[in-house]
Structure formats: C-alpha cells, structure tokens
Amino acid sequence: MSGERHEFQAETRQLLRLMIHSLYSNKEIFLRELISNASDAVDKLRFTAIQQPDLVSDGAELAVDLIVDAAAGTVTVRDNGIGMSRQEVIDNLGTIARSGTKQFLESLSGEARKDSALIGQFGVGFYSAFIVADKVSVLTRRAGETAAVRWESDGEGAYTLEEAEKPARGTDVVLHLRADEREFLEPMRLKHIVRKYSDHIGLPVRLREVKEGAEGESEVINSARALWTRPKSELSDDDYTAFYTHLSHDPSAPLAWTHQKVEGNLSYTSLLYVPAKAPFDLWNREQRSGLQLYVKRVFIMDDAADLLPPWLRFVRGLVDSDDLPLNVSRELLQNNRTVDKIRAALVKRVLDLLDDLAENKPNDYATFWQAFGAVLKEGVVEDGAQRDRIAKLSRFRSTHDSANASVSLADYVARMPAEQKAIYYITADTLAAAQASPHLEGYRSRGFEVLLLTDRVDEWLVMHLPEFDGKKLESCVSGAADLAPAIETPEQVRQDSEFAPVLERLQQALTGKIEKAQLSRRLVESPACLVAPEHGISRRLERMFREAGQAAPSSQPVLEINPAHPLLARIKDTADAGEFGDLAALLYDQAVLAEGGQLDDPAAFVKRLNSLILGGAPQRSSIIVPG
C-alpha cells in the first residue's frame, strides 16, 4: 500500500474481525450494504441539489454501476452521488460513528453475534466488504469539489490515504476479491443478489463486464422504482419484506404492513410496517424513532419523529408527501398543520392494521404484543382520544391464563359471573408476587378473574382507564374493592361485634403505621393484608416514586384482617399489652412482606418470630434475646 498510513480506531479493528468471522455464512449481504450506501449517497446529492442545482448540472443519470473485471478479480460498486471529502473519508471509514456500538458488541453472547442485524443497524455496513475482499480501495470525490482521495485497506488494522484523480463526483468502491470468493465475479450471481435485496430502491443498478481492458454494454438489473410509488397489485409479500429489510436493517420479516396512497386535500403515500422484534434500544429515551420522510420522491430525513406519536415508536416505514416544502426542517415539522393531519391519519391506519392482525392472525398478534404491548399501552395514558381503541387491543395475564398475556378486556367481561360488579386487577413487580398476593384469595374463592399487571406502565394505565365496556376497573389492593356482600350474614354480623375491640387495639398498637384496621372479606387463607385507602394512590406506585427518588404523596395503609384465621382468634384472646403489641407488629410485618415490600426493622421482625417459634408466644419476660 502506498500513501499516508492511518491506524483504525481500536473498536473498528475489533469489529472488523468479528464481522468477517461471524457473518461469513451470509456473506452476499456485502453487496446489499454497498448498494445501500450508494443509494444513500444519491439521496444526499438529490437533497443537497435542491439548494445547489449546479451540483447536478452535468445531467448524468443517477445510478449505481457494478463493474466486474474477471481478469483483475475485482468488483467495483460505483455511484455518482454526493461523494466524500478527505475528512469525511477519515470520519466515516476509519471509525465507528455511533457511540454505544462497542458496548453493545461486548454485551452480546457468541451466538447472538451471528445475527446480521448488527450490520447497518450500527453503521458498520461498509466493513462487510472485507468478508469477501482482502483489499478494498475507495476512490471518491465530493460533489462541488475537484480534489479526489483514495482510501485503501486490507482490513488488518490500518488504511492508507492519498490524493487521487477522479473525473466526476461520486464514489467507486473496488473490492479485490479473496481467491475463494470468485463466485462474485459471476454476472448471474450478482444479478440474483441485486434482485433479492435491492430491486426496490429508487435508483437503477447497472451491471457491466470489463473484457480485455474495455467496459462492455451495461444492463439495468433491478426494477429501479421506489417501491412505494408502485401499485400494490404489482407487489408481492417478498417485495414488501425485502424493502422492509432495506429500510429498517432488521433481519426478521415484519409482521404486517399497510401501504396507502392518499389523494385529495392532502396528498401523500405512506408505507408502515409492524416489526416482529423489539430493537435492543426500544426503552432508551434517545432511541432513534419515527419514519423516513420524503417530499415528492426526494428523501428528506430519517427518524421524522413528528409523523407518529411516541406510543407508536415501534412502527417503521415512510411517508412521501406532495404538500410539504422540499426545504422542510425538523423544526418546521413540529406544529405543522399538514403534519398534524398526516399523523392523525397514520394513527388510525396503524390501529386499523393492529385490529386486523388481532382478529385474523392471533398468533402474530401475540408476537407483536409480547414485543411492543408495553409501548402501545402508553397510548392509553397519552392519548385520551384513542383510549378505548387501545384498551380493546390490550392483552393481559390474568388468573384465567397467567402463562400468556393473552386475555383481552372483552374476553374478561364475557366471562364475568352475573354477581361480579367490576373488572378486578392487581399490580405487582413480578408475576409471582401478583399471584401469591393474599389480596386475591377472596376473588379466587368466588370465581372472579383478576388481571395480573406487572408492567410499570400499568400503574398509569389503570389510572387513565377508569372503565371498560361500562364496567369499572378496580384494584384488589384498594379499600374500595373489598368484596363486602350486599347483605351481611348473621355470622358476619357476629364477627363485626366480636372483633370491634380487636380492631381498636390493633389501631392503637400500630399507630403511625396504619390508618386503621378493618375486617376483610377478601382474605381466605392469610391472616392479614394491607390495602391503600379508598382515595389514595396505589401502594406500588408509591414505592415506584420512592425508588425513583421522588416525593410520593404518602398515605398510611389500612390493615385488613381475616377474622376466620386462627391467628386472629389468638390475638383476640391476648390480654397482655406487650404480647399483643408483638403479635400486632408480626401481623403487620408479614402483610408488608406478602406484598413484596421492605420491612422498616427486619431485625426486630426476626427476633419476634424466633421467640414465637421457641416459646409458642413472644413471652417477653422468659426469653432472653441477645442484643
């Protein structure tokens, strides 16, 4: 190699090694990546030429050329797009542009590294050239400049840069194929790959061979029309899937899509996809989301976040508008009436698509829900107008089916026994905690189904969804939702008077910890539980606020006791005030533990428990507890 020598950034070297080894089984994708870069470069040129028309005054057709030279053992991918300046070459081909890539790579297991999703998703597409080439030479000239530069590397840790001559703007990527990769000199093989991955891009891909030093006739080998401009009737599922791969860099096939041309007051074409898998950064707030925006077939920007609300951020695709100005900026997209109207229409479009998927492909819908349900549920909170539609689309685990989040509110309501008044739910950090909650006992014994909610967003969901289909949603953990019968049985009337003094004493003994004590109808096996006061926020939400370091509107819970439990009979008959106090504290602490909470003083709990085990009762005088 001649020219000025530069070392690759360390991560780049590591990435190169990884890529060559792990992607070998899918090596043909190098061509997809290089054509995709060529297509991006042409998009950038078209966009820049809106302001600087002289950049394209040569009138040359914008295209990608594949030039095969069997004698030299090279394939060249040539474009007449924007090109790169010397500094751009260093920045783009010598480093990994996006931070986080390295950490992500390190966090992957060996198996996951085979996933070709890595390529492109992290801006590493260009390096895939080294899967098949032992030397890559890039000759490029930035549009509007006269100087050109040649970059060359064997992919082993360094590259060289030198000044060069190039008659016109654009980039040539010359692949010197490895000896065992000569199959990529076969025109048939190249045509096949281009048709498979790059048929749909809005740019002709032309193939020609060099024979005896001279370039032959070139042949257009793709259909060269932007997919979304073609009528639906011409397009197959494979076409849509291949285009999705190009657009999203997601190697799994999409679950569903909707392609629509709208004409009238507004004119635009939209093509929206629902992916099958969540990207690794779905929960990262800085995650890139949004659609691609085109104006009159010209690519304007990626990640136009204003085209969809945040709760639909999993949707991929594009909008091509005839109404927006070509020089539209991100700032202009905010508070733009045309954009608002398009967004409203797209929201409806996506919800229709999801309705259709839920109805006609329940298995695919389950896959969707598993990946993105928690995001969609944010819409109940954020968009009152769509609340009921999203509620219908929502799926939950419940005591009816706790293995899958497959229960819809409509299913739930259809199963409700006549005497059940409300839709009951419990929120907890884990499924196990929800299922084990003593609060559910009374509902279970009456045959009432309970929704088991474990996503964080569920706390907000239930606050914004007071009812569904005329049925109130009520928490099993709130004072409001006890299962008091309309008319008390004589046995219950007797218990009420029998336990009145105990309730009084418990309240005294636990002053500062509970608001009050009361008899419970929701407990069957457990002696006690804590419930939120009727008008307070849920106890779990309080805990979530506290964990986030925020001031929670804190309230004291209500201690509910189960009069049928032998422990309560025991407490009732305990006259000694000290012993009663210990038993009351134990009752309270175990209720805290049962709801997944933390004890204020675990050591005291352990002492009391041990003395109870040893003495049969916490006989304070006769047992010597160290400390």
Binding site for ligand ADP (CB under 6 A): 33, 37-38, 40-41, 79, 81-84, 92-93, 120, 123-126, 171
| Residue 171 interacting partner from Mg ion, ligand ADP, none (CB closer than 5 to 8 Å by kind) | ligand ADP
| CB nearer to ligand ADP: pick between 41 and 308 | 41
Answer yes or no whether residue 317 interacts with Mg ion by CB under 5 A: no
| Beta strands, E only, 440-520 | 450-453, 467-468, 471-475, 516-519
Q: Compute the distance between CA of residue 194 and CA of residue 416 in angstroms, rounded to an integer.
A: 56
DSSP state of 472: E
- Residue of 125, 155, 557, 618 interacting with Mg ion (CB under 5 A): 125
Q: How far is CA 193 from CA 31, 124, 221, 242, 491, in A?
A: 8, 20, 10, 12, 80
> Could you tell me the smallest distance in angstroms from the CB atom of residue 35 to Mg ion?
9
Distance CA 438, CA 447 (A): 15
Q: Which does 35 bind (CB under 5 to 8 A by kind): Mg ion, ligand ADP, none?
A: none
Strand partners, 561: 519, 528
Output the smallest distance, CB 142 to Mg ion, in A.
18
Report the residue from 37, 116, 171, 590 that binds Mg ion according to the rule CB under 5 A: 37
Least distance from C-beta 537 to ligand ADP, angstroms? 45
DSSP 233: G
33 or 459: whose CB is closer to Mg ion?
33
| Candidate ranges 31-39, 103-111, 231-239, 424-432; the one touching Mg ion (CB under 5 A) | 31-39
**How far from the centroid of its chain's Cα atoms is residue 454's Cα?**
17
Both tokens of 561, joined, read 């006791």
Residue closer to ligand ADP (CB basis): 35 or 339: 35
Closest distance to ligand ADP from the beta carbon of 370 (Å) = 28
User: Between residues 37 and 394, which has the closer beta carbon with respect to Mg ion?
Assistant: 37
Of these partners, ligand ADP, Mg ion, none, which one is at the site of residue 84 (CB under 5 to 8 Å by kind)? ligand ADP
Q: State in angstroms the smallest separation of the CB of 165 from ligand ADP.
A: 18
Q: Segment near Mg ion (CB under 5 A), from 120-128, 214-222, 399-407, 616-624? A: 120-128
| Helix, strand, coil share of the chain (percent; to 5) | 45, 20, 35
Closest residue (Cβ) to ligand ADP? 125
- CA atoms of 609 and 587, how far apart (whole Å): 11
Q: Which residue from 437, 483, 481, 430 is spatially nearest to 458, judged by alpha carbons?
A: 430
Give SS3 for 458. Answer: helix
| Using rule CB under 5 A, residue 81 touches Mg ion | no
> Could you tell me the two tokens for 312?
């639909």
In the complex with ligand ADP, the residue whose CB is nearer, 84 or 105, is 84
> Considering beta carbons, is residue 126 or 311 the nearer one to ligand ADP?
126
Q: Backbone dihedral region of 21: left (phi > 0), alpha (psi from -120 to 50 degrees) or beta?
A: alpha
| Choice between 81 and 309, CB closer to ligand ADP | 81
Q: Rounded to the nearest whole angstrom, what is the least distance from the CB of residue 309 to ligand ADP in the complex?
A: 26
Pick the closer one to ligand ADP by CB: 80 or 611: 80
- Give me the least distance between CB of 424 and ligand ADP, in Å please: 49
Please report the DSSP string for 545-604 in residue order: HHHTT------PPEEEE-TTSHHHHHHHT---HHHHHHHHHHHHHHHHHHTT---S-HHH
Cα(first)–Cα(last) distance of the chain, in Å? 78
Residues that bind Mg ion (CB under 5 A): 37, 125
